[in-house]
Amino acid sequence: MKNIAFLLVLASLITACSTSTKESKEVISADFQSIIDSSLINGSVLIYDANKSTYYSNDFEWAKTGFIPASTFKIANSINALENEIVENDSSMFYWDGEPKFLKSWEQDMNFYQAYQRSCVPCYQEIARKTGANKLHATLDKIGYPGMVFDSTNVDNFWLEGDSKISQFEYIDFLQRLANKELPISEHSYEIMSKIMVLKETEDNTLYGKTGWAVQNENNIGWFVGFAKTKDNTYFLATNVAPTETFNMDNFGRIRMEVCLKALEALISNAPEK
C-alpha cells in the first residue's frame, strides 16, 4: 500500500508539472513574408520569443524541413573542439599550410576566435579530422545536435555536402539549450562559446550566431542561426533561404543575416507596449 501511495503522489506531481509547463504557440507573420519577398528570395524566417513562448514565421512548413547545415555546423564543431580538447581556448592557433584557399582571409595563421569569425572551413576540417568520426558522433549525440550523416570517409565535409540535415525548429531547440546552459558541457566550453559567437554587441543587446552557405544539386542554401539577448528577453533565430531567379548572387552572403535581423526588428517594433 505504501508503494501505491508513493506512486499516486509521484503521478500527481508529474501531472502538476506538465500542466504548469507553458506550451509554445505558432504565429504566422505577414511582415516576415514581406521582407522575404522584397529581398527577392524564397525561404523562412523562424524566431522564438522566449518570454512569450511563441514561434513567429512566414512559413512553418519550410521551417520544419531539414537542410544541410553548411557553416552553421561550426557552432557544434566548436563545442566539439573544446570538449575533446582539440583546442584549449579562443587563442588556440591554426597554422596556414601555405596552399591557396577558397578565401584570401583563410590564407594566414589565425586563432580559434578568428577561425570562427572568418568561417575558416580548413580550420574546422582540421578539427573534425583530429576528432575522428566515432568521437564526433558521440559528442553530437551528447549535445543533442541531430541529423548528421557521416563516417570516417567524409568526416571533414559532411556539413557541406551529403545527406546531413537539420531544420530551423531543431536549430532553435539546440540554441535554446546552449544559451540556457542546458547542454552537458563544461563551464569552460560555455565561456569560450560565449566569446567566439558574438557578432554584434551594444550596451543593450548582444547578437550571437553563425551564417552558412551550401550548394546542393546546383541549389544555393543560405542559413543564419543564433540568438539575440536584450535587457529583458532572448530571441532565438533560424533563417533558411534560397535565391529566386532574379536575385543578384553578389548579395547572397549578406542577405541571410540581413533578412533575419529585419524580421526581428519588425517583431520587436510591432510588439504591444507593456
**Considering 39, 57, 71, 164, which one is annotated as catalytic?**
71
Q: How far apart are CA 155 and CA 131, in angstroms?
A: 9
| Element at 227 (helix H, strand E) | strand 219-229
Q: Beta 110-111 vs 198-201: how paired, if at all?
A: unpaired
12 is catalytic: no
Q: What are the φ/ψ torsions at residue 202 (nearest 5 degrees)?
A: -125, -175
Residues 108 and 96 sit within 8 Å (Cβ to Cβ): yes
Q: Are 57 and 49 in contact (CB under 8 A)?
A: no
Contacts of 144 (CB under 8 A, 6+ apart): 173, 174, 177, 183
Residue 133 CB contacts under 8 Å (≥ 6 apart), including other chains: 150, 151, 152, 155
From 115, 117, 118, select the one nearest 128 (Cα to Cα).
115
> Which amino acids are annotated catalytic?
71
